[in-house]
Amino acid sequence: MKKEWPLWEVFIRSQHGLAHKHVGSTHAPDAEMAIKNARDVYTRRNEGVSIWVVKSADVVASSPGDKEALFEPAQDKIYRHPTFFPVPEEVKHM
């Protein structure tokens, strides 16, 4: 037969309440084993409290060629950041 086990992307949420973060990938024949393999390979040192796996083939990514069109328009909208607005000396906290 000789078919390679499909590739899965692995995301782990650490103890500290942060969002799931991509940590790498693993091979597995099905979703259950993908979770188990991710557990065995990526949480040997207490790295996580929750795992997501997604078939790599199902990940849709933005294209590097679109980078300027997608991300540069946000660069000049500096008024979206709080530091854009000076706070008067007299007003201590805001």
Partner 1 sequence: MYAQMVDTGANKVRGLEEMSAQERAFQERIDAGIKIEPKDWMPEAYRKTLIRQISQHAHSEIVGMLPEGNWISRAPSLKRKAILLAKVQDEAGHGLYLYSAAETLGVSRDQLVDELHAGRAKYSSIFNYPTLTWADIGTIGWLVDGAAIMNQIPLCRCSFGPYSRAMIRVCKEESFHQRQGYDLLISLCRDGTAEQKAMAQDALNRWWWPALMMFGPSDAESVHSAQSQAWRIKIFSNDELRQRFVDQTVPQAEYLGLTIPDPDLKWNAERGHYDFGAIDWDEFYNVLKGNGPCNRERLRARRQAWEDGAWVRDAAIAHAEKRAARTAQAA
Partner 2 sequence: MSEAKIEYLLRLGDSALILGQRVSEWIGHAPIMEEDVALANVALDLIGQARLWFGYAGELEGRGRDEDALAFLREAHEYRNVLLVEQPNGNFADTLVRQFLFDAWHHALLEGLSQSHDPRIAEIAVKALKEVTYHLERSSDWVVRLGDGTEESHRKAQAALDELWTYTGELFAADAIDAELVAQGVAVDPASLREAWLHTVQAVCEAATLTAPPADAWMQSGGKQGRHTEHLGYILAEMQSLPRAHPGARW
Residues 64-69: contacts with CB within 8 Å, 24+ apart?
none
**How far are the Cα atoms of 29, 34, 42, 71, 86 from residue 8, in angstroms, in the given order?**
10, 7, 13, 28, 47
Q: Which is nearer to partner 1, 45 or 92 (CB)?
A: 45
Q: Which is nearer to partner 2, 5 or 71 (CB)?
A: 5
- Which residues contribute to the site for partner 1 (CB under 8 A)? 1-5, 7, 23-27, 29-30, 33, 41, 44-45, 61, 63-64
Q: Which residues of this protein are in contact with partner 2, per CB under 8 A?
A: 1, 5, 26-29, 32-33, 36-37, 40-41, 44
